[in-house]
Structure 1
């Protein structure tokens, strides 16, 4: 469907839980959060009803997120249900990878096409510092299992000032060796992330080009999001830059988000949206649900305002499926 800014909205990110088995420094406080009760979280049936209405409105791509989506029981059942909705063309997932080894084959069989694995360093000790957990090897085994199962894999690296030249180059070499795209994602000032500052894309590109030669924009790597991909040399490695703050892409934003407790969130940096859980549980018809979603999506904000810090507290990323 088309919103009031003439943008085509065809992509929804669905948070299936606010729980996570890691405690990444930019995402959650060390002590964690008080999780929502199971009764407050949407059931799979409710999620599927929302996605069926979304598909009728033109939603074609679905990303399943959390928290950590693989901690939710029988997540492959939801994947299969999403994949079977007429109009839905692609179902993908973002995961920290800790449980991916056990789930990869089931996810592929259910219809998942790809996984984005959040991995901010290839140094096991640094990984433990960032995540406050010691499961680096489990993540690497999960990546291997995903590839063996036939899933496409991308790496998501949240870029903080502490990212060193050596780590940037290590990711580039990893991409070259494994032919797995690595996306450097600019830190967004949301929740715990407000305490960190991102490294500029130009600095990242400079580190890469200094070692590997000039970067060239690549059209080979495709995804459902806003990453701009580059390659170099003989095109065995690929890196992507996602820069929501410094190079805002609001004018071409094609997505909405569904939080685990049923709020249709129209922009990561805005309270705009509508609660869908209450109407669902009060017996709303499919037609009225579609109309409610349509009316809300048409009023999607024109842009974010990350540069305007009003001092107000914002939810942590695990709570909004960022």
Structure 2
């Protein structure tokens, strides 16, 4: 079992070097969104301890990984999330994806524990539509709005609002969401996200091509992010990114992220259920070779589909 050398990186056979971990710390959630894919999870399978999470991230950092995105389920259901953050090695960026329901009360403690920024799911500004999408109770929507304001106030910025585009549900709300984002004067960015095919959700697939064309017409400036060559539109003071993970060869070709499931398995690709490598009971000495094994199994999803 060999520890990584200072110059060793996790580079797969397609030349993609891992610089980021996306780690699910729980598959529990306090919402039940109509399109949710549970980070590819197949059900409740247990959760890693703070020590295991810390060990995984430390080993990844030894390989040059410098970014971590914490996800779920809903990560704020873990009461020890601040302990997880404190246990991490120094990284360039530590972010979290959350539905924001519990964020208002913990934004400051998360910031103080080392969290840099948050992505918050907000698919609608219409409370009725929000309840339909998330199947939540009355009052939850207002908690999420409060969480957004709290995140901005404590400096968990830029806050990115994740809006999954849903046909006949929220596709007409893009302009309203842009107006909402403008109110935060650059501290909040809108991410419009193409719906992924993890459930029987064909009826919700919006015409993303048409929506993006409208953004292009309105934009005063269009930029292209290096990762995934994702387009970013600046529209009258609002910043919006368009995320197309479906049938996107550039998304796969430029993927620099390795996923970790909530029960401690390295997942080479979110869209593929095989090839997982279990590190949940591995020692720190054993983990480097398990990381190398996971990287050896990384095949771009679009390439794998062509080979089927």
**In 2, are the aligned partners of 1:26 and 1:196 still within 8 Å (CA)?**
no
Cα displacement (A) at 1:126? 0.3
Q: Structure 1, residues 179-224: CA drift from partner, whole Å, max 9, x if none?
A: 311001111111x3644543243211233456xx3453236xx798
Match of 1:146 in 2: 151
2:269 equivalent in structure 1: 267
Residues 172-251 of structure 1 correspond to what in structure 2 (within 5 A)?
172-178=178-184, 179=186, 180-190=188-198, 192=199, 194-209=201-216, 213-214=218-219, 216-218=221-223, 227-233=230-236, 236-248=237-249, 249-251=251-253
TM-score (norm 2): 0.85
CA distance in structure 2 between the aligned counterparts of 1:59 and 1:217, rounded to whole angstroms: 29
> Is the CA contact 1:14–1:62 (under 8 Å) kept in the aligned structure 2?
yes
- Residue number among 92, 97, 101 corresponding to 1:98 in the alignment: 101
Instruction: Find the aligned partners of 2:170 and 2:74 in 1 and give their Cα distance.
Output: 26
Query: What CA distance in whole angstroms lies between the structure 2 residues aligned with 1:98 and 1:203?
Result: 31
Seen in structure 2, the aligned counterparts of structure 1 residues 224 and 91 have a Cα distance that, compared at 3 Å, is farther
Task: Give the gaps of 5 or more residues in structure 2.
Answer: 1-8
Q: Compared with structure 1, are the counterparts of its residues 224 and 20 closer, same or farther at alpha carbon in structure 2 (3 Å cutoff)? A: farther
Q: Deviations over 1:114-160 (max 9, x none)?
A: 00001111111100000000310000000011111111111001112
| 1:20-39 correspondence runs (5 A) | 20-27=29-36, 35-36=44-45
Of residues 128, 137, 140 in structure 2, which corresponds to 1:125? 128
Q: Aligned pair in 2 of structure 1 residues 165, 94: CA closer, same or farther (>3 Å)?
A: closer
Q: 1:77 to 1:43 in 2, by over 3 A?
A: same
Listed as ranges, the gaps of 5+ residues in structure 1 are 311-322
Kept after mapping to 1: 8 A contact 2:129/2:169? no
Count of matched residue positions in the alignment of Structure 1 and Structure 2: 288
Change over 3 Å in CA distance of 1:244–1:218 after alignment to 2: same
SS at match of 1:27: coil
* Stretch deviating more after TM superposition (154-163 or 260-269): 154-163
RMSD between aligned residues:
2.5
